[in-house]
Structure 1
Amino acid sequence: MQQTTVDRIDQVAENAVSLVLRGTAGPLAPWEPGAHIDMALPNWLTRQYSLCGDPDDRMSYRVAVRYERLSRGGSEYIHRFLRQGRTLDVSLPRNHFPLVPAPEYLFLAGGIGITAVLPMLRAAAASQVPASLVYVGQSAATMPFADELRAAYGRRVRIVATREQGRPDFGALAAGLNPATLVYCCGPEPMLTAAVAAFPPDRLHTERFHPVAKPFAASTEFEVLCAKSGRTVQVPADENLLDALTHAGHPLPSGCREGVCGSCELTVLEGEPEHRDDIGAPAGRMYACVSRALSPRLVLDL
C-alpha cells in the first residue's frame, strides 16, 4: 500500500467530485491509462477507482467519484464525510484495461466511465494518434470533466446529452470507422451492451462497473494446498475461496468481491481453476473472490 493525503476535493459535476491524492512519502507508483487503484476508506471499506489524472505526475493521483443513491457506503462516505488533509492508503495501480497501440482510436464513455477513458484520450493526443471521444450522459451538468475536455480537445470530443439529444447511434459510428480503428468503451451496462452489438469484438475493448451475470454449474467442494505453508484448506460448496483462505489464516487483499477489480489475484501452480471473473484471468492466475476449481484440488502459491 501507499500512503496519500487528500490534497484537493473539487466538484466536477452534479453529484460527482474529484480527489487529488498526494503521496506523503515522495513519488507514487507509476501507472498507465486504464489503471485503477484500491482506496482504503476510514469507514473500513475498500473501493476501486480509475486513475484520471496525468501519468507523468508522480507526486499525485486523481480519481473521481459519483455519489450513488443506493451507495454501499463508499461514495456516500467520500461525498459526505471525507475532508481535505485526510490520510488514505491506496494500492499500487493495476491495469486490466490497457491502451493497446493502434493507428486510430474511438473512445466511448458514459457518465463516470469518463475516468478510465480521459487519460487514454490524453495519451493518444500526446502521441499525435488520431482519436475522438463520444461522451454520453443525461445532461452536460451531470458529466464530469466535460468543460475540461471541450477546452483541451475541441471537435475531437462529442458531448451527447441524452435528455435533449437521445442516445448516439453506435451502428452508424461502426459503419463509418476506419478498419484499423480500436474502440474503447467504459460506462453503464446498457451502453456496453449497445457497443458489443455494434462493433467487431476484435476491435472493441470494454471495462464494466459490475460483472455480467453468467450461468455456471452448481458449486462443489474442492481442496486447496498452500504450497509455501504446506497447509491444506477445504473450500465448501457454499463458501468462496477468498473467505475459506481467510478463515484458515491466509487473508488476502479484497476490494470488489465481484471479480472485476483483481485485488485478490492468486498464482495457481497445479490444478484447473474455474474462472468466474469479468477481467479475464491470465494463464496461471485466478481471482479468489468468485472463481472456483474444476479439478478436485488446486495448488496455490501461498
Structure 2
Amino acid sequence: MTVQSPARTDALVYRAPLQVLAKKDASDCVTELELVDPSGEVLPAWKPGAHLEIHLPSGLSRQYSLCSSPTDSGSYRLGILKDPNSRGGSQEVHEKIEAGDILEVTGPRNHFPLVESAEYHFIAAGIGITPMIPMMEEAERNGKDWKLTYMGRSRTSMAFWSELADKYPGKVDIRPDDECGFPDLAALTGTPREGVKIYACGPEGLLRALESLTAESWPAGTLHLERFAPKPVVAAAKTSFTVKLALSGIDIEVPEDRNIVEVAEEAGAPVIFSCMEGTCGTCETRIISGQADHRDSILSDEEKESNEMMMICVSRSACDVLELEI
C-alpha cells in the first residue's frame, strides 16, 4: 500500500505489514531487527540516510534509520538502542518484539540524503552509526575518498564496530571513551578545506560542538547532521496567526497555544504527521506565501532561508497570514 507523502520526501510512501525475520543483540544496548515482506515480495528501494517508521503494537510510532544495504531488496535492517530515557518505544522493541512478529511500517523516507562530494568524513557516536553504514557503502562503491570516526561508551556498547572494521580496513577509526577519552574534534576533522562533506549523527552535545567548530572556519554547507531528539531552539514568542490551506480551500486561525497540525486536522484538512517534535519530517509542507518561523531539527540553515518548506508540527508563522500547500 502507498500513501501520498509531503513534497520534500519521495512522491509515494510505502505502508505495509512486515515480518521480523530475525532479532539479535548488536551490542549490550542495541538490538538488531531484520524485516521482510511476509509474502516474499521485493521491498521498496531506498537511498542512504533513509528511515522507517515502525508502528508498535502498543500504538507508539517511532522512526529508525535503515542500516542495511540499499542494494538488498529482500530485507531491511534496523539497529535500535534501548534508551534509558526512552518514552517507551525502544523498551517495547527490546522487551516485547520477537522474531515472527508482524509490524506495520511506513517508509522509507529520507531527510538525511548523501549529497555529492569528492570526500566524506563520517562521524558517529553510539546509535548514530546506523545511518552511516549505507552511506559508507555508497561512498565506497562510487570510489570516493572517505573515513569514519566512530565513538561510543565502550566497544561492548558500540553496535556493528567489528563488522565495519573488518569490511573497511584502514578507513574506520573506532574510539571508545574508556580507551580513548573524549576526542579533540578540531584535530579529528583536520584543516578546513573545500570539497569535503562531514556527516554526523549522535548525542546533542557532539552535534552542537561540530556545528560550532564548522561554523567558525569550514565552508558553508560542509556539515550535515541527523538528530534523534529536537534541537534546542531560541525562537520568537508564540503569537496567533492565520493559515490559508490552498488545496483544501480552508482558512484556519492558529492560536498561540496550538500548532498548525492540530488546527488543520480539526478543520478536516488532509495532514500527515508523526513525531510532533520536528525530527521525523513526516509533516513537511510546501509554503506558497508568507514567512515561516522554523523550529524543526531537520532543515538546514540554507533550506530555512529559502522558505520553501516547513514542518507544521512545530514551526509557526513569522507573519500574520501564511499560505500552505495543503
For the superposition of Structure 1 and Structure 2, which TM-score range results when normalised by the shorter chain?
over 0.9
Moved more, 4-13 or 240-249: 240-249
Which of 232, 239, 243 lines up with 2:258 in the alignment? 239
- Do residues 62 (structure 1) and 86 (structure 2) align? no
Q: State the partner residue of 1:279.
A: 298
C-alpha separation between the residues in 2 aligned to 1:265 and 1:173?
34
Does the 8 Å CA contact 1:2/1:92 hold for their aligned counterparts? no
CA deviation string 1:3-59 (max 9, x = no partner) = 311111111001111111112452222111111121111111111111110101122
Q: TM (normalized to structure 1)?
A: 0.93
- Do residues 267 (structure 1) and 281 (structure 2) align? no
Percent sequence identity is 38
Moved more, 287-296 or 20-29: 20-29
- Do residues 226 (structure 1) and 245 (structure 2) align? yes
Q: State the partner residue of 1:51.
A: 66
Q: State the partner residue of 1:3.
A: 17
C-alpha separation between the residues in 2 aligned to 1:273 and 1:215?
15
How many residue pairs get matched?
302
How much has 1:219 moved relative to structure 2?
A: 1.0
Alignment of 1:41-190 (within 5 A): 41-176=56-191, 179-190=194-205
C-alpha separation between the residues in 2 aligned to 1:251 and 1:16?
36
Does the 8 Å CA contact 2:47/2:70 hold for their aligned counterparts? yes
Q: Output the amino acid matched with 2:243.
A: V
How much has 1:130 moved relative to structure 2?
A: 1.9
C-alpha separation between the residues in 2 aligned to 1:197 and 1:220?
30
How much has 1:264 moved relative to structure 2?
A: 1.0
Q: Output the amino acid matched with 1:252.
A: V
C-alpha separation between the residues in 2 aligned to 1:73 and 1:153?
35
Moved more, 276-285 or 128-137: 276-285
- Do residues 298 (structure 1) and 322 (structure 2) align? yes
How much has 1:183 moved relative to structure 2?
A: 1.4
How much has 1:283 moved relative to structure 2?
A: 4.3
Q: Secondary structure at the match of 2:107?
A: coil
Does the 8 Å CA contact 2:293/2:316 hold for their aligned counterparts? yes
- Do residues 204 (structure 1) and 218 (structure 2) align? no
CA RMSD after TM alignment: 1.9
Moved more, 7-16 or 213-222: 213-222
Does the 8 Å CA contact 2:291/2:307 hold for their aligned counterparts? no
Q: Secondary structure at the match of 1:149?
A: helix
How much has 1:132 moved relative to structure 2?
A: 1.1
Gaps of at least 5 residues in structure 2 are 1-14
C-alpha separation between the residues in 2 aligned to 1:197 and 1:90?
36
- Do residues 250 (structure 1) and 265 (structure 2) align? no
C-alpha separation between the residues in 2 aligned to 1:266 and 1:157?
38
Moved more, 260-269 or 116-125: 260-269
Q: Output the amino acid matched with 2:127.
A: I
Runs of 4+ in 1 over 6 A off after TM superposition: none
Q: TM (normalized to structure 2)?
A: 0.87
Q: Output the amino acid matched with 2:310.
A: M
Gaps of at least 5 residues in structure 1 are none
Pair 252,46 (structure 1): closer, same or farther in 2 beyond 3 Å: farther
Does the 8 Å CA contact 1:2/1:28 hold for their aligned counterparts? no
C-alpha separation between the residues in 2 aligned to 1:266 and 1:174?
35
CA deviation string 1:87-126 (max 9, x = no partner) = 2222222222211222221111000000011111111112
Q: Secondary structure at the match of 1:79?
A: helix
CA deviation string 1:149-200 (max 9, x = no partner) = 1111122111111112102222112335764332111111121123223332
Pair 140,45 (structure 1): closer, same or farther in 2 beyond 3 Å: same
